[in-house]
Amino acid sequence: MSEILDIAAALSRLLKAENVLLICHKNPDGDTIGSAAALYWALKGLGKTVAVLCADPIPSRYDYMDIGLYTGQFTPGYTVAVDVAGIQLFGDSIAEYTRRIDMCIDHHPSNSGYADCMLLDGDAAATAEIIYELLTAIGTEITPTIADCLYTGLSTDTGCFKFANTTARTHEIAAKLITAGASLVKLNNILFESKSRSRLAIERLALESLEYSFGGRCATVYLTKEQIAETGADGTDLEGITSLPRMIEGVEVGITIRQQPTGSYKVSVRTVTGVDASAICAHLGGGGHKQAAGCELLGSLDNAKAALLTEVEKALCKES
């Protein structure tokens, strides 16, 4: 089990570390990418050799972070997982680098404790909040680039500050990032106001598959790997539709099922306050937050849907 660190202890270990490899989770979202990128720039500013690794390509919409990706240019001496709640989220293609993780920095209460040590704050709205606290402790100058990275993580994991995980502290940090030079208008346009043609195509296909259960209290959409490939949708497009079924009036549990190239199914669950998405996914080997969680299921689509609806029914009965 992981040794639990506070900010000071985590800082001490990072300052001693050499040849640092920062690892994101597969199907990367704004928080894992933004948090890793901010830490990358901070450690680079301290003269460290550092790079970022992810099993899947970083979506092009995040190019403004100018992340230094790992291409084998050094032998990792210290590995840090950023916003990764469990080892199954790394991806098999980078397994040689994830057999041992020295430190995990995360905000998921469901974190499995796989790393040697862990800086965990389950009350943080995003891992970007923890990284901000860490960089402040180091004395890092929050440059406009670092501010952009942290704002990306903060805003995407809170749904542009609309989700229930948003706190007063979240807004305080966002204000400081704006003061430090975060490109607010540009970032909000990229992250929340623009949709690619592939995103619109994938939304249309998802809505065509829409199914209601339990008197309309649950809505499910699903996408096959062929449909995803046909639209050319990237990870950002796919993450962007996870809230789609939950947005329907009267729906308390929204489920998005996406078939992976390997044939497994990536599941995203979004719920209203009072229905625990993390509990639904925990029974299926996943986890996350109370209103946003996920898991990965094997087998057929029908079996995946049946397993999910069994857990959803239990959760709705508890809420009633």
Question: What pLDDT sits at residue 320?
Answer: 63
Q: Are residues 108 and 246 in the same domain?
A: no
| Domain assignment of residue 146, given as a range | 3-192
Q: Are residues 139 and 286 in the same domain?
A: no
Residue ranges of the chain with per-residue pLDDT less than 50: none
Q: Are residues 126 and 164 in the same domain?
A: yes
Q: Are residues 163 and 232 in the same domain?
A: no
Question: What pLDDT sits at residue 227?
Answer: 94
Q: Are residues 69 and 137 in the same domain?
A: yes
Q: Are residues 185 and 258 in the same domain?
A: no
Q: Are residues 127 and 73 in the same domain?
A: yes
Q: What is the CATH number of the domain that holds 224?
A: 3.10.310.30
Question: What pLDDT sits at residue 164?
Answer: 85
Among candidate residues 83, 85, 93, the one with its CA nearest the CA of residue 28: 83
Alpha carbon of residue 191 to chain centroid = 14
CA-atom Rg of the chain in angstroms: 19
Q: Are residues 46 and 167 in the same domain?
A: yes
Q: What is the pLDDT of residues 194-242, one digit of tens each?
A: 888 999 999 999 999 999 999 999 999 999 999 999 998 887 788 889 9
Q: What is the pLDDT of residues 162-206, one digit of tens each?
A: 888 999 999 999 999 999 999 999 999 999 998 889 999 999 999
Q: What is the pTM of this model?
A: 0.88
